[in-house]
Structure 1
Amino acid sequence: MFLREYRPIGHRVACFALMLFGPLQAGCPLDKFGLFLIVALLRVLSVLPYSFVARFGSALGTTLYRLPSRRKHIVLVNLRLCFPAKSALEHEQLGRAHFQHVVRSYLERGIQWFGSAKSIDKIVQIESEIDLDDKNAPPTIFMGFHFVGIEVGCMRYSTHLPVASLYTRMSNAPMCDLARRQRGRFGAEMIERATSARKVVGLLRSGTPVMLAADMDQGIDNSVFVPFFGVEACTLTSISRLAKLGRARVVPFVTEVLPDFRGYKLTIFKPLSDYPSSSETVDARRMNEFLETQILRFPEQYYWVHRRFKHRPVGVAGVY
């Protein structure tokens, strides 16, 4: 199998299904044969009807939720922390719906990574509060958030307009190279987050918009603790700093999954006013507050499988 060491069956299946198409985590190694199978599967999925792939992914997510797994535990911990007023049953229902969306989004990467620009345009509609064709637009940072549709939204934008996008390197190098290559195949310039600052500033000042998301716990470096649904969360300050250096406006965007397997909607909002401010902490808090308003619209679509509260303030116990 793809896991070289023994794991309980629930962990093995969930690890393979949930991590295979997303950021590979420690404990889920992937060899060349496994990567070959992933590519083969995604190519097959890319030519199947979108509605079939979406429905199958949703059904598979329901099945995987029934299995014990580390990711299920993380999802439920996050939901309990962020929605303490909800009952245990509501947390379970929301967790199940989230698994449906996550697994579905992984299978839909067949279309995203190997489908044509036309096939992506067909499933993603754009609604923008700014003029995307404005040739005189100021330097722009598109501030994204990790909803399950973030990747297809970024790719939809790149099918028609120039853009650069930041990515975090995966632990599996071949998978990372595949993801970077396929995500950028319509012309988006892919920039590794760890070496991005000078490059991003140069792109912004030259007029190329940059898409990045800073809503995940990447460690305490260049981060501050600010509330996220009332819980102190380690939050990156990179958008605030890059906006200052690049003299850029910050434009939030969100890609939501539409009901009835109708695809996605990429919503591009107006630029945030007075952002960046003189305080990175204030900016981080504002980013989280904006994100909270969007999560409340469709909470099952946010990326709860991530350990959002991995790092804790000094003296505060871990939650996972």
Structure 2
Amino acid sequence: MTQLPQFTRALLHPRYWFTWLGIALLYVLVLLPYPLLYRFGCGLGRLAMRFMTRRVAVARRNLELCFPEMPEAEREAMVGRNFESVGMGLIETGMAWFWPDWRINKWFQVSGLEHIAKAHQESKGVLLIGMHFLTLELGARIFGIHNPGIGVYRPNDNALLDWLQTWGRMRSNKSMLDRKDLKGMIRALKNGDIIWYAPDHDYGPKSSVFVPFFGVEKAASTKGSYLLIRSGQPAVIPFVPRRLPHGRGYEMVILPAEENVPLDDESATAARMNKIVEHGVLMAPEQYMWLHRRFKTRPAGEPSLY
């Protein structure tokens, strides 16, 4: 059972004072009108490129691996737009944690809620397939406003941020589960709950099978999808929260349930889930978390891709 972090007086210790200062600055910043936040966030991301040189290199390499036929100039333009999204991701985290519901709703369009309603009518739990977009905090908040569910997360090493992240996500959702708590996820699915689940990161060799992802033939992909779908028998529903251009706000697109996800073995399931993720990523490729070392785990004996 996942034990959620609680606020304690220990979080007021001086070692957290700089973190508290950053939180306070973020809170004040997101009081500004959204068009100003949009320009500030994009500019912040462009500025970050000058200092986050290793992450820029990772993003460039990921795009090269995933889209080998894309012209180099186009990839470079994508890197720039991606780091604008990195800057906006910080702003959107503050928006997700601190904005009231009415302000979130003002800037969001939502489509596809009928797919969630259909799953409920069929008395099914929902495995809500998210992707690691830089809009993910804001996407989780708006989804929860319409359909409260249970988030899956990795506990933060900073105890204050761990508590704040959980508090922020639970403003519009029921609870959170550690990503290692498979039994808790299966139990929730069997109870008809919605589990927000992102299968698109590299979780290491013990938890992975190697199947294609975009242009990488052997990408470490989680085994967890197979266990969750086989045991929980949920509706598998992808969703994409994407930022609209020119500061016009956001849209959340909930896609139809995936039918007949293969459960022959872990590899078949993982390969299908990667195809689902690919489809979602292509709906807003510049907003995906390309600065993450997605392909760091390699099959035994194969060299690093970085």
Structure 1 length normalisation: TM-score? 0.85
1:272 aligned to which of 234, 255, 258: 258
> What amino acid is aligned across from residue 201 of structure 1 in structure 2?
I
Measured against aligned partners, the alpha-carbon deviations of 1:257-294 in whole angstroms (never above 9, x if no partner) come to 11121221111111111125222211111111222233
User: Is residue 88 of structure 2 the alignment partner of residue 92 of structure 1?
Assistant: no
Question: Which residue is equivalent to 2:36?
Answer: 52
Paired residues of 1:252 and 1:270 also in contact (CA < 8 A): yes
Q: What residue ranges of structure 1 are gaps of 5+ in the alignment?
A: 1-29
For this pair of structures, how many residues does the alignment match?
A: 290
Residue 260 of structure 1 aligns to a residue in which SS?
helix
Could you report, residue by residue, the CA deviation over 1:133-192 in whole angstroms, capped at 9, with x for unpaired residues? Answer: 454231211111111222211111112322111011122222122111111122331111
Contact 1:256–1:265 under 8 Å retained in 2: yes
Shift of the alpha carbon at 1:97? 0.6
More RCO (CA 8 Å, sep 6+):
2
Match of residue 224 from structure 1:
209
Superposed, 1:14-163 pairs within 5 Å as 31-67=15-51, 69-128=53-112, 130-134=114-118, 135-137=120-122, 138-163=124-149
1:211 and 2:199 correspond: no
- Alpha-carbon shift at residue 31 of structure 1 (Å): 4.6
Distance across 1 between alignment mates of 2:235 and 2:94: 33
Shift of 1:47: 1.3
Which amino acid counterpart does residue 90 of structure 1 have in structure 2? E
Letter in 2 for 1:144: G
2:280 equivalent to 1:294: yes
Q: Distance in 1 between matches of 2:116 and 2:69?
A: 40
Partner SS for 1:235: strand
Given residue 45 of structure 2, which amino acid in structure 1 is its aligned partner?
A: G
2:162 aligns with one of 173, 176, 179: 176
For 1:293 and 1:182, the matched residues in 2 are separated by: 28
SS of alignment partner, residue 169 of structure 1: coil
SS at match of 2:137: helix
Counterparts of 2:23 and 2:85 in 1: how far apart (Å)? 21
Contact 2:68–2:215 (CA under 8 A) maintained in structure 1: no
Unaligned runs of 5+ in 2: 1-13
Q: Provide the secondary structure at the position in 2 that maps to 1:47.
A: coil
Q: Distance in 2 between matches of 1:73 and 1:295?
A: 20
Is 1:235 matched with 2:218?
Answer: no
User: Is 1:200 the counterpart of 2:212 in the alignment?
Assistant: no
Instruction: Give 3-state SS (helix, strand or coil) of 2:70's partner.
Output: coil
% identical aligned pairs:
34
Question: Taking structure 1 as reference, are residues 256 and 187 closer, same or farther at Cα in structure 2, changes over 3 Å only?
Answer: closer
CA distance, structure 2, for counterparts of residue 260 and residue 88 of structure 1: 25
Task: Work out the CA distance in 2 between the residues paired with 1:34 and 1:77.
Answer: 33
Return the offset for 1:33.
2.4
Judge conservation of contact 1:166–1:211 (CA < 8 Å) in 2. yes
Contact 2:236/2:258 (8 A) holds in 1: yes
Which AA in structure 1 matches 2:195?
V
Q: Larger deviation: 123-132 or 162-171?
A: 123-132
Q: Residue type of the partner of 2:241? A: T
TM-score, normalised with respect to structure 2: 0.89
**Which AA in structure 2 matches 1:274?**
N
Per the alignment, in what secondary structure is the counterpart of residue 256 of structure 1? Answer: strand
Letter of the 1:108 counterpart: E
